[in-house]
Amino acid sequence: MLLCLGARLSSRLRNPSAASRIYPLMRISPLLTLLLTSSLLAAVSNIGGTWVLNPKRSRFADGMHPGNVTLTIQHSDPKLKYDGTTDNPEEGQYRDFHFDGAIDGKEYVVRDADGDHRMTLKRVNDRVIESDTKTAAGEIKSRITISHDGNTLERRMSWRGNDGKTRSWVEIYEKKK
């Protein structure tokens, strides 16, 4: 079969009008293949490590401040596992939360003091992940972006409660060295 295809191509290349159409494609094809392959194989940013909330760089909604937040993330794309703690001494509040799932658009469980919640994570590009979390009280949508140098994690969040109320905020985390 390859000989047959080779013979057809060979006969077309001898035809000047066919050759004028095929040669430019043959020159462009390796370049397009290289560009597509390199963009598809772009390294996904690893968000693994220990992250600490920087409240001075973060922007919170009215009357909302989570206190001290530490995240410990294990990331081997698409698998993602994290454990976190929120410590707010002013309110006497200490909370743990846990997630073990993947960045694949499927629903997984997040466990915290309020119970189990459902979350999906989808990759937007090599540095951005979007999440959708459903709780008994409403829904949280977030967009997580890791900086080019891998030392800052930005989480833009929006909340829509079952009562229709909304709020938005931005959390900035810095990687602990």
Q: Which CATH architecture has domain 49-175?
A: Beta Barrel (2.40)
Confidence of residue 177 (pLDDT cuts 50, 70, 90): confident
Residue type, 162: N
Q: Is residue 26 pLDDT above 50, yes or no?
A: no
55 prior amide bond cis, ω within 30:
no
Q: Is residue 25 pLDDT above 60, yes or no?
A: no
| DSSP H helix total and E strand total for the chain | 2, 10
Task: Give the span between the Cα atoms of 119 and 66, in whole angstroms.
Answer: 20
In the chain, what are the domain boundaries?
2-40, 49-175
Q: Please report how the helices 16-40 and 2-14 are oriented relative to each other, as an axis angle in degrees rounded to 10.
A: 120
Residue closest to 152 by CA, chosen among 125, 121, 122, 176: 176
% residues pLDDT > 70 (the chain): 73
Q: What is the pLDDT of residue 2?
A: 39
Q: What is the pLDDT of residue 101?
A: 97
> In this structure, are strands 93-102 and 79-88 parallel, antiparallel, or unpaired?
antiparallel
> In this structure, are strands 68-76 and 107-112 parallel, antiparallel, or unpaired?
unpaired
Q: Is residue 35 pLDDT above 60, yes or no?
A: no
Identify the residue with better confidence: 41 or 54: 54
Q: What is the pLDDT of residue 30?
A: 46
Q: Is residue 17 pLDDT above 70, yes or no?
A: no
Confidence of residue 91 (pLDDT cuts 50, 70, 90): low
What global pTM score does this model have? 0.74
